[in-house]
């Protein structure tokens, strides 16, 4: 099971994420990025975080440790933003925390230009995303962090934020395990990812035993009441059966072809030009901020 900690101090919200996670200190002296049960994404996002994150860790990916965080909204009473306080007030009890990586920066296109990506590592991350139908690791929103290591070792790539994965659990009755997804715009597609090697290495390791172990780490309360299921254990079995069927169909959904940086740039330019043509004359000189990559995010600045 996941470790359980109790939040002792609320530090700051992270407005860069749609769910507005918060940085907290806990009674184990650790610092965590917490995703709250009261967020608009709901508890299924937390279920996906646990299943995909723990599966990734079991397969050797550098996913930060996940913990269950007991949270009392009173420790966030001094938060100045009403919408954030409302989120905290709606999230008493058990929430999900991810180990905070001080000094980590977002894997933006600017960072990627100077960061050599190992094709084997890129293939593994893309393979996990494809297996779990993660639609939220694109060139515009990588959900990857670059974290410096000690000594002379190079910085490492850390996958985070898997709440948008497992899209099939939003419509259990109509999903097909062999369904392919469009990964042409994956954040690591430019790194010559070796997805075939990843499939050969990781596929045999995704066993029923491993999946049962991973799904057992999801709290019952986050699975209870799922329509069409009599108990949390029935929901866990559905995840296990689906992912087992999907890993066996990897030849169908395995991503193989990715555009180059130049092809992506040309496509983005065409999209931007099309957007501008549709604007009224008085807006045509306004920069297209939606296409602008986000700035590097140094989480350590919040902990001064």
Percentage of residues of the chain with pLDDT beyond 70: 87
* 75 in any annotated domain: yes
Q: In whole angstroms, what is the distance from residue 87 CA to residue 102 CA?
A: 24
Where a domain ends, among 50, 84, 102?
102
- The CA distance from 140 to 242, in Å, is 29
Q: At which of 79, 102, 125 does a domain end?
A: 102
Which residue is listed with tokens 């985070």? 160
Residue range(s) defining the domain that contains residue 206: 105-253
Please indicate, yes or no, whether residues 114 and 228 belong to a single structural domain of this protein: yes
Q: Is residue 201 part of a domain?
A: yes
Residue at 66 is within a domain: yes
Query: Phi and psi (nearest 5°) for 67?
Result: -135, 155
Is the domain of 150 the same as that of 52?
no
Sheet with 144-147, edge to edge strand ranges: 105-106, 144-147, 156-159
pLDDT tens for 203-238 read 999 999 999 999 999 999 999 999 999 999 999 999
CATH number of the domain within which 226 lies: 1.10.1070
Place of tokens 């806990």: 26
Structural domain includes residue 285: no
CB atoms within 10 A of CB 221: 12
> What total number of domains does the chain contain?
2
Do 97 and 217 lie in a common domain?
no
Contact between 87 and 36 (Cβ < 8 Å)? yes
Q: Are residues 154 and 76 in the same domain?
A: no
Q: What is the pLDDT of residues 106-132, one digit of tens each?
A: 999 888 888 888 999 999 999 999 999
Same domain for 78 and 196, yes or no, is no
| Runs of H (alpha helix) within the chain | 43-58, 82-89, 109-113, 119-131, 195-202, 208-215, 232-248, 250-253, 261-277
Whether residue 127 is found in the same domain as residue 228:
yes
pLDDT of amino acid 237: 97
Whether 297 and 105 have beta carbons less than 8 Å apart is answered as yes
**Domain match, 69 and 113 both:** no
Q: Do both 119 and 79 map to the same domain?
A: no
Query: Which element (helix H / strand E) includes 156?
Result: strand 156-159
Is position 301 within any domain? no
Q: How does pLDDT run across 255-285, given as a tens digit for each residue? A: 988 877 677 677 767 877 776 666 555 445 5
């Amino acid at each position: 099971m996941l470790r359980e900690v109790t939040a002792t101090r609320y530090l700051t919200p992270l407005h860069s994420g749609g769910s507005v996670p918060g940085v907290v200190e806990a009674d184990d002296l650790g610092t965590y990025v917490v995703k709250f049960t009261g967020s608009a994404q709901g508890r299924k996002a937390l279920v996906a975080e646990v299943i995909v994150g723990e599966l990734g860790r079991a397969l050797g990916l550098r996913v930060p440790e996940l913990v269950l965080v007991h949270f009392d909204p009173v420790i966030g009473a001094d938060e100045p933003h009403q919408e954030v306080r409302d989120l905290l007030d709606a999230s008493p009890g058990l929430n999900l925390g991810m180990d905070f990586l001080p000094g980590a920066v977002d894997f933006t296109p600017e960072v990627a230009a100077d960061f050599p990506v190992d094709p084997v590592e890129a293939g593994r991350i893309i393979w996990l995303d494809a297996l779990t139908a993660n639609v939220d690791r694109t060139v515009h929103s990588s959900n990857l962090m670059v974290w410096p290591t000690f000594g002379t070792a190079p910085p490492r790539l850390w996958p985070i934020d898997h709440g948008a994965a497992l899209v099939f659990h939003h419509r259990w009755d109509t999903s097909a395990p062999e369904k392919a997804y469009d990964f042409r715009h994956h954040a690591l597609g430019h790194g010559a990812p070796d997805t075939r090697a990843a499939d050969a290495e990781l596929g045999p390791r995704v066993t029923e035993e491993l999946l049962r172990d991973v799904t057992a780490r999801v709290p019952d309360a986050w699975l209870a009441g799922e329509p069409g299921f009599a108990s949390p254990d029935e929901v866990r079995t559905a995840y296990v059966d689906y992912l087992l069927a999907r890993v066996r169909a990897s030849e169908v959904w395995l991503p193989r072809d990715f555009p180059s940086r130049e092809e992506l740039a040309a496509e983005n330019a065409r999209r931007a030009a099309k957007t501008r043509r549709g604007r009224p004359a008085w807006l045509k000189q306004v920069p297209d901020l939606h296409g602008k990559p986000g700035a590097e995010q140094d989480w350590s600045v919040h902990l001064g």
